[in-house]
Structure 1
Amino acid sequence: MAAAVLRSCRRGLSRALGGKAVAGAAPPSPGGLRHKSSVQYASRPDLPKLAYKKIKGKSPGVVFLPGYGSNMSGPKAEALEDFCKSLGHSYLRFDYTGCGQSEGVFAEGTIGTWKKDVLFMLDEHAEGPQILVGSSMGGWLMLLAAIARPEKTKALVGISTAVDHFVTAFKTLPLEARKECEDKGFWSVPTKNIEQGISRLSMEFLQEAENHCLLHSPIPVTCPVRLIHGLKDEDVPWHISMQVAECVLSPDVDIILRRQGQHHMTEKDDIKLIVYTIDDLIDKLTTMA
C-alpha cells in the first residue's frame, strides 16, 4: 500500500514539474540563479519582530515549522520553497522568537512563546487553508496550532515529530539525576540537533512545556496527518510518532518509518519523500475541494 501511495505521489510530482527531478525543482532564472524569497519582518505590539519569508500562490499553502534551536534556512525549508514555487502554491517559513534572524533571546523562549509565534503567523501572514509541516519540535507546535486553528489547518506533515519529548525524556531520568538538575536549575542534554552539541533546558522551560503536553489524552485533530520518522533517530525516538498516530482523532493517518533515517531528515531521499508526501496531500485536498 505504501509503495502504491509513493508511486502515485511521484506521478503527480512528475506532472507538476514537467518530468524533472525533485532536486532543483524550481526552474533556474536567467544567468543560472534562482530567485529566493527575501527576508521580511513581522511587527507585533510589545513583542519581538519575527523574521519570515513568503511566496504567494494557490491554496492550499504550505507552512514550515523548524525544530528546537533551528531556523527557516535549513535544507528542508529551502527545498519546500522550490517545490511550492514549481507548483504555484503559497509558502511561508519563519524563525521563532530568539531564533535565526528574529528578535528576542533564545534562552527565554518556551513552548508557549513559540506556539504564540506560530498562531500569529498563521493569523496574519498565511492566507486560506494550509498544510503545516513541522520538524522535530515543530511537529509539536504543528499539532498545537492545528488544535487552536482547525479552520485554517487542512493537513499535517510531521518530520521526526517531538511531541512532549522534553518533558517525557526528563521524567525517564533516574530520580537522583532529576534531583541534581532541579538543584542546578537546568538539564544539559547531549544532542546532534544543534551546533553546540549540548542543549541546556531550564527547569522553568520544562515546567512550562508540561502545560502543552498532548500524549496523555486524545488529540482533537481531524485533518489528514502524515508522520515521517527515522529508525536511527538518536534525538527523538521514532515511537513518539506512533504515539501521536494513536492519539489523534483523524481517521486519515499514515506513518512512514525510514530504516536508515536520522533526526534531521536532510538526505536527498529524505527530502524527496517529504516533498512527495506534501504533493500527495495537495492532490488529495484539491480533489476533495
Structure 2
Amino acid sequence: MQIFETEQGRQIAYHHTPGTGPTVVFCSGLKSDMEGTKAVHLEAWAKARGQAFLRFDYSGHGVSSGRFQDGAIGDWHEDTFAVIDQLIDGPIVVVGSSMGGWQALLLARARPERLAGMVTIAAAPDFTEDGYWASFTDDQKALLESQGFVAMPSDYDEDYIISKRLIEEGRDRLVLRAPLDLPFPVRFLQGTDDSAVSTETAIKLLDHASGDDMRLTLVKGADHRFSTPECLRLIETSVADVLNGGQ
C-alpha cells in the first residue's frame, strides 16, 4: 500500500500494479474500500495477465484520511481525478461499482480523452437525489435541515450517515440531467435482485447515455454485491472485452 496527498490535502491510500496499459482503475462504492472482493479479485486477474491495475480508497473510506460523514460526491470526484492525474500515465479503463459507477461517469464527462473504456457494476448515478432525497419523508427532510444529517439503515454495513452536504453537493454532480457521451466501449452490469440499485436505473442509464458501443448485461438473481464466482467471471470478461476494443 502507498499513500499520496491530493491538492486538497487529503491522504489517499492506493495499490498500484505495474503492467501493460491501459491501466485498469477500480472505483469502489459508497462506504466500500479497495479491499473489497471485486477490487482484490480484479487486481489478481490483472496481475496474471500483466495488465496495469490500480485500486484506491476515497477520502473518508478505508485507510485514507478523513471521516465518511464529512465527504461528498465532489470530494470523491476530486480524489478520483487526483489518482488519474498524479499516479497514472496514458489511457485507462475505469471499472466503477455502485457509487463508483457514478464516479466513472463523472470521470468520463471531465476526462474523456483519458478513457479507453468503462465497465460499471450496479452503477448508481445521481443516487443522492433520485435515491435518498426522493425517498425521504417530510420528517427526514426536516431532520436533515435541523441536525444536518439523517441515519439510513444499510443491508451491507452499519447505518449510513447521510449529511445535508452530501445531498446538496450531489446536485452539482448529477449526470442523468444533461447529455452524457461515452465515446468508447462501455459495459454496464446489473443484477436483477439488487435491493440498492434497481434494474430500472440501469436501463435509464443505458437509454440516457450516448455512444457507439454500449451494452447492458442483466444477471438474473444477482444482488448488489455482484461477487459470486459467476459474477466475478463476468466482470473479468467485460473488462477484457473493453481492453480488446469492444464491438
Same fold (TM over 0.5): yes
Q: TM-score, normalised by structure 2?
A: 0.94
Cα shift at 1:164: 0.4
Structure 1 residues 155-190: Cα deviation after superposition (integer angstroms, max 9, x where no partner): 111101010012112224444543344334323222
2:25 and 2:92 in contact (8 A); partners too: yes
Partner letter of residue 87 of structure 1? R
Relative distance call for 1:46 and 1:178 in structure 2 (3 A) is closer
Partner of 2:194: 233
| Alignment partners' CA distance in 2, 1:107 and 1:155 | 31
| Alignment partners' CA distance in 2, 1:89 and 1:132 | 13
Matched, 1:189 2:152: yes
Matched, 1:171 2:171: no
1:110 and 1:205 in contact (8 A); partners too: yes
Relative distance call for 1:46 and 1:253 in structure 2 (3 A) is closer
Query: Helix, strand or coil for the counterpart of 1:151?
Result: helix
| Alignment partners' CA distance in 2, 1:119 and 1:88 | 24
Partner of 2:90: 128
Within the candidate set 146, 150, 157, 2:108 is matched to 146
Partner letter of residue 198 of structure 2? P
Cα shift at 1:45: 4.3
Partner of 1:62: 24
Structure 1 residues 219-244: Cα deviation after superposition (integer angstroms, max 9, x where no partner): 13222211111111111212111111
Partner of 2:161: 200
Partner of 2:171: 210
Gaps of 5+ in 2: none
Within the candidate set 222, 227, 234, 1:261 is matched to 222
| Alignment partners' CA distance in 1, 2:74 and 2:125 | 13
Gaps of 5+ in 1: 1-38
Partner of 2:71: 109
2:185 and 2:245 in contact (8 A); partners too: no
Q: Aligned Cα RMSD in Å?
A: 1.6
Q: For structure 1, which segment, 110-119 or 274-283, has the greater mean C-alpha deviation from structure 2 after superposition?
A: 274-283
Q: TM-score, normalised by structure 1?
A: 0.81
| Alignment partners' CA distance in 2, 1:220 and 1:89 | 26
| Alignment partners' CA distance in 2, 1:181 and 1:46 | 27
Identity of aligned residues (%): 30
Cα shift at 1:218: 1.8
Partner letter of residue 153 of structure 2? P
Matched, 1:86 2:86: no
1:191 and 1:235 in contact (8 A); partners too: no
2:140 and 2:150 in contact (8 A); partners too: no
Within the candidate set 15, 33, 37, 1:75 is matched to 37
Partner letter of residue 5 of structure 2? S
| Alignment partners' CA distance in 2, 1:227 and 1:143 | 11
Cα shift at 1:138: 0.3
| Alignment partners' CA distance in 1, 2:10 and 2:245 | 37
Query: Helix, strand or coil for the counterpart of 2:244?
Result: helix
Partner of 1:13: none
Partner letter of residue 67 of structure 2? V
Alignment map for 1:20-31 (pairs within 5 Å):
none
2:101 and 2:122 in contact (8 A); partners too: yes
